[in-house]
Structures are given as C-alpha cells and as structure tokens.
Homo-oligomer: A and B are copies of this chain.
Amino acid sequence: MTRTVFEKADVIPLVAEVFRELGYEGASMSKITARTRLSKGSLYHFFPGGKEEMASEILAHIENWFIRNIYEPLERDDPLKAIHNMWREVDAYFRSGQRICLVGAFALDETRDRFASGIRQYFRRWIDALCAALVRAGASTDAAAVISEETVGGIQGGLILSRALHDETLFERTLAGLAERVTKCVREDAGR
C-alpha cells in the first residue's frame, strides 16, 4: 500500500474541492476522508479545529490567490492589461463555469455568518480593485462603481446559471458579455 506524505499546503486545495462540491454542511468528515483519501487522523493533525478551521483556512487561501492573481494587478498594473488578465484568470479559475465560487456559495445560507468578514472582504476588494482600474483607465467614478458591482455579480450569476442549465458555454458567454460592456464603458467615458 502506498503512503503519501503531505504538508498543509498540499491538503488545503484537496479539501477545498470537496467543500466546493458539497457545500459547508454537506462536506462531512467521512465524505472529506473518502474524496481526499486522507484519514481523519491526518485531517485533524492539520486542522485541530476541525471543519470550521478547514473552511476558514480555505477561504484565506482563496482570497490570497485572488489578491495575487487578480486584485493586485488591477490595483497597480496597466488597467486595461489587468482587466484583460482578469477575464483570463477568472475563466481558468472557475474552469469555464464547471467549478463554483466557494465564497459565493457560503454567502447564500447561514454559513455566511460563520465567515462573514472573510466573505465580505473577498467581494469588497474585488469590486473596489476593478473600480479603481476602471477609473485609471478613464471611466467616470460613478460608471466605474456601477459596472464593477455588475461585473462581479454577473460572474456569480453566470456560475449559478451554467451549473443549473448544465451549459458549459454559458459561463464563457457571460464573461464575454461583461468584457464587452466594461470595454464600452471605458471608451465612452474616456472619450468625453
């Protein structure tokens, strides 16, 4: 029998995937052990606080990924390039809509209240970073604020719809539509 030795950094993405598939309440310890092939002993070794600690560290891990790959570029790189990078990274991260947003899923039921500040922060910073990039690209402050909210919300809605309709093309169509509107917004305001 093979005995693979992990460290925490390897374990977090594995467990995260189970939470994504089953939700916070649906992801029981036995489901997690079955799908990750890690025993309860190993899991409690890495996360003495159990499920709550797992989910908490997973949320932090997700936020860090978005900060590095999406928010920071939006906040300080060339805005149009950073926005283009966002579409590409988001499509890859959510596997063209085949993978859900765990933070959005947690927001829908009372799981939200357990992780309220992490959930709020993730969306708040995404919207603000996109808004800042749009303003730097020449959009008006008002228009940028509106379309940033619509974009981040639109991505979440696209994930729900593409899963509900079993339509893998829907998420990419959603991203393309959002990208077009964002581009138009920048052009119109910058050209005034």
Contact B153 A158, beta carbon cutoff 8 Å: yes
Instruction: From B20, B25, B154, B157, give the contact of A25 (CB < 8 A).
Output: B25
Instruction: From B103, B153, B177, give the contact of A157 (CB < 8 A).
Output: B153
A135 within 8 A of partner (CB): no
How many copies are assembled?
Answer: 2
Cα A100 to Cα B119 with chains together (Å):
16
A174 within 8 A of partner (CB): yes
Segment at the B interface, from A9-17, A61-69, A104-112: A104-112
Cα A39 to Cα B155 with chains together (Å):
41
Contact A103 B164, beta carbon cutoff 8 Å: yes
Which residues of chain B are within 8 angstroms of A159 by Cβ–Cβ distance?
108
Which residues of chain B are within 8 angstroms of A149 by Cβ–Cβ distance?
161, 170, 173-174
Instruction: From B123, B146, B160, give the contact of A161 (CB < 8 A).
Output: B123
**Interface band, chain A:** 35 or more
Least Cβ distance of A108 to chain B in Å?
5
Chain B residue at minimal CB-CB distance from A166: B120
Instruction: From B109, B120, B163, give the contact of A22 (CB < 8 A).
Output: B109
A124 within 8 A of partner (CB): yes
Which residues of chain B are within 8 angstroms of A163 by Cβ–Cβ distance?
107-108, 112
Contact B110 A21, beta carbon cutoff 8 Å: yes
Contact A22 B23, beta carbon cutoff 8 Å: no
Contact A108 B119, beta carbon cutoff 8 Å: no
Per the 8 Å Cβ criterion, residues 1-48 of A in contact with B are 20-26
With A160-B153, A161-B149, A177-B146 as known contacts, state yes or no: A105 contacts B109, CB within 8 Å.
yes
With A26-B25, A26-B111 as known contacts, state yes or no: A154 contacts B165, CB within 8 Å.
no
Apart from A22-B109, A119-B164, A120-B165, 4 more pairs, CB < 8 Å: A107-B160, A108-B108, A112-B163, A123-B165
The 3 closest A-B pairs by CB, nearest first: A157-B157, A153-B157, A25-B26
